[in-house]
Amino acid sequence: MKVLAVVCLLFALIATAQSAGLRHRRRYDTKVQTGPAGIKAAEPAFPAWSTMSQAPKKDVVEKEGAAVASPLYVWPQPASFSRGNVVREFSSKFTMTSEPAFDDLTEAIARYTRMIFDHRVTGSPSSDAITQLNIVVADPQAPLQLDTDESYSLEIPDTGDAATLKANTFYGALHGLETFSQLVSFNFSSGSFSIDGLPLSVSDAPRFPHRGILLDTSRHYHSLPTIRRFIDSMAMSKYNVFHWHLSDIQSFPYHSAALPRLSLAAYSNTDKYSMSDIVDIVEYARLRGVRTMIEFDVPGHAQSWCVGYPEVCPAPTCQMPIDPSQQATFDLMETLFTEITGGVARKGMIPEDLFHLGGDEVDLSCWTTVPRVKAWLAANNMTSKDAYRYVVERAHDLIYKMGRTPINWDEVWANFGTTIDPQTIIHVWRNEEYVYNATRDGFRVLVSPDGPWYLDGLGTTWQQMYNLEPFAGITNTTQQKLILGGESCMWSETVDDSDVFNTVWPRAAAVAERLWSPQNVNDVNAAEPRYANFRCLLNRRGIGAAPYANPQARTAPSGPGPCLAQ
């Protein structure tokens, strides 16, 4: 038995080492890449994103019934607000009404009512208690896309008269409801709900239109209930993009009707998502103000495609990148993309305008060693790098034909610069120089810096995440306008349903505030009490956010104590 145990341990260590070699962490690669002038990948001008690590304080204590003091205990902090010092209870007959009434908002009101008023009222509020929140939406039919107006205003008088929430769209109203929900507290002494700091006036809108979290469902499968609860948690900090990294080297969990053999690469028959599952998730997210953006990575990170469709891969012993010499490769891509998009703008299973095509970490050596691909390169007078661009451009052509805008990781721009279509959005995961030079070349950019905003880095503190400035090193306003926002990334090598929430939260909230709040809301010490409070709010709502002050993510509390002190 001892021998068997040693053998099992040896195999486990080998498997771990092999998976580590393949896993997709998008870490900085010191190989020199040919790219546009000004880019030298091996020696970046900015070796790391600008961050400042500060030791967390533990001097925050929980005081039951204490009035909320300035600053406003809302996360993320609104763009502007003013407040007084009056406390008002809620009437036992408090209601939320809408103008006009429509199904999406009616459902949201019911959901927030359950979330906010989670204790039984036993007290008798005074006659000047708050009786109503009136929600006014100018354009209830506005679609949820990158350019959607998410602004809102909230007015709560100190007289007990009706509070008013105004927004141009349903999605702005959702953000206003979230802010309102975070202002309400339950007083256990009086047995009633109340709001402090009245009169209160909030005028709010996001700094960036794209504020996302990437969730990797290839390296570990995440169940539908977990994904739904994950989206719930995103909405609580006003994230608005669920970046669904659906497949990768390790597995292909989507069961396509048009290409059913793709899901042969799922981990098991139960670790799959059907077409209807995806449609349901997209709608669930939309009702919470969250767009769903899919990613299918080409030409690299597609080894799982070879399980069901080996004809699109160069050889059984050399499976990546996918084979550029075979029309079957592009036929498969077109069939898959058409199924997802419906083939036309803003239709299909995922109506999102943006479509992520990956394009990163492409090792071209396979194409130069497999005889079939090598012969094709020679016949077409192409280098392997030419073929890389050929696949990227053909994928772009497919996506444009379907009314979508492609996104690629920064390797595509670093290799091909201004020769790729200028409408391409560049998703930068490396250093600030890539943001600067891509925007200098006129490309729109998303930022997801490896290290500061990679949630799989368990030693990265929330302070480091908070201190990252998306405009770092960029003073030109034209370039700044090309930065659409960014994402925190949850690569799932060591994450599944058992630990995803305490790995993501509360640290992802630090990124959420830097993407929502004005640029000058950047003081980590000033933010800390609100951040600690938000972690406790997540816990009260059933989201397993880890202790905020732990130096290592997803670790347990160090001992007994109140939520706010951990």
Q: Which sign, positive or negative, has the C-alpha torsion 330, 416, 451, 527?
A: negative
Are 419 and 474 found together in one domain? no
DSSP code at position 110? H
| Within a domain: 269 | yes
Q: Report the CATH number at residue 190.
A: 3.30.379.10
Task: Kindly report, residue by residue over 414-433, the tens digit of the pLDDT.
Answer: 999 999 999 999 999 999 99
Model pLDDT for residues 251-280, shown as the tens digit of each residue = 999 999 999 999 999 999 999 999 999 999
Is 389 in the same domain as 484? Answer: no
What is the structure's pLDDT at 49? 59
Take residue 364 and report the two structure tokens written for it.
Answer: 């071209």
Q: Provide the sign of the torsion angle of the four alpha carbons 546, 550, 552, 555, taken in this order.
A: negative
Helix (H, G, I), strand (E, B) or coil at 555: coil
pLDDT at 165 over 50: yes
Secondary structure E strands in 36-129: 80-99
Give the integer Cα–Cα distance in Å for 359 and 161: 55
Q: Are residues 118 and 178 in the same domain?
A: yes
**Band of residue 40 on the pLDDT scale cut at 50, 70, 90:** very low
Residues 140-145: what's their mean pLDDT?
Answer: 98
Number of Cβ within 10 Å of residue 91's Cβ equals 19
Q: Is residue 98 part of a domain?
A: yes
Which of 35-44, 45-54, 160-169 shows the lowest per-residue confidence on average (mean pLDDT)?
A: 35-44
Domain boundary residue among 374, 402, 428? 428
Same domain, 162 and 221: no
Query: Could you tell me if 175 and 264 lie in one domain?
Result: no
Q: Catalytic residues, which ones?
A: 361
Give burial (CB, 10 Å; 0-12/13-18/19+) of 190.
Answer: middle
CATH code for the domain of 458: 3.20.20.80
Token pair for 482: 């090309």
The total of structural domains in the chain comes to 3
Tokens (6 digits) for 245: 């990294």
The answer on pLDDT for 30 being more than 80 is no
pLDDT at 171: 99
Domain assignment of residue 28, yes or no: no
- 217 CB contacts (<8 Å, ≥6 apart)? 227, 244, 245, 246, 247, 253, 273, 492
CA distance 67 to 374: 71
CA angle centred on 373, ends 369 and 378, rounded to 5°: 95
**Whether residue 130 is found in the same domain as residue 176:** yes
pLDDT tens-digit readout, 173-218? 999 999 999 999 999 999 999 999 999 999 999 999 999 999 999 9
| Same domain (yes/no): 166, 266 | no
Domain annotation covers residue 305: yes
Predicted pLDDT at 126? 84
Same domain? For 455 and 484 the reply is yes
Nearest to 338 by CA among 350, 327, 321: 350
Q: Tell me whether residue 438 is in a domain.
A: no
Q: What angle do CA 98, 104, 110 make, to 5 degrees?
A: 70
Q: Give per-residue pLDDT as tens, 479-503.
A: 999 999 999 999 999 999 999 999 9
Answer whether residue 6 shows pLDDT above 90. no
Is the predicted pLDDT of residue 450 greater than 80, yes or no? yes
Q: pLDDT, tens digit, for every residue of 516-540? A: 999 999 999 999 999 999 999 999 9
DSSP 234: H
What is the model's pLDDT at position 3?
40
Residue 55: inside a domain: no
Contact (CB, 8 A) for 105 and 173? yes
Block residue for tokens 């139960």: 270
Listed in order, strand segments (DSSP E) in 146-278 are: 152-156, 163-169, 184-187, 192-204, 210-216, 241-245
Specify if 73 maps to a domain. no
Extract the tokens encoding 324.
């550029």
Which of 226, 247, 225 lies closest to 496 in space, CA to CA?
Answer: 226
Q: Please check whether residue 348 lies inside any domain of the structure.
A: yes
Contact predicate 362/299, CB 8 Å: yes
Per the CB < 8 A criterion, the answer to whether 212 and 293 are in contact is yes
Q: Once rounded to an integer, what is the mean pLDDT over residues 454-460?
A: 97
Residue 70's pLDDT is what? Answer: 63
Same domain, 198 and 220: no
32-46, 223-237, 277-291: which range is least confident on average?
Answer: 32-46
Tally of CA atoms within 13 A in the half-sphere of 88 that contains its CB: 26
pLDDT at 499: 98
Q: How confident is the model at residue 5 (pLDDT cuts 50, 70, 90)?
A: very low
Please provide residue 550's backbone torsions phi and psi, each rounded to the nearest 5 degrees: -65, 135
Report the C-alpha gap between 54 and 456 in whole angstroms. 20
Is residue 21 pLDDT above 90, yes or no? no
Contact indicator for 48, 28 with CB cutoff of 8 Å: no
Where do the DSSP E strands lie in 429-492?
Answer: 444-447, 483-490
Tell which of 171, 204, 237 closes a domain.
204
Instruction: Let me know whether 187 and 105 are in one domain.
Output: yes
* Same-domain check for residues 309 and 417: yes
pLDDT tens readout for residues 78-119: 999 999 999 999 999 999 999 999 999 999 999 999 999 999
CA distance 420 to 298: 15
pLDDT of residue 71: 74
Residues of the chain with pLDDT > 90, as a percent, come to: 85
CA–CA separation, 557 and 566 (whole Å)? 6
Of the candidates 186, 281, 196, 269, the one whose C-alpha atom is nearest the C-alpha of residue 243 is 281
Last residue of a domain, one of 162, 184, 204: 204
In this prediction, residues 228-244 reach a mean pLDDT of: 98
Element (H, E) at 134: strand 130-139
499 and 538: one domain? yes
Residue 189 structural domain:
80-204
Q: Kindly indicate the confidence band of residue 439, based on its pLDDT and cuts at 50, 70 and 90.
A: very high
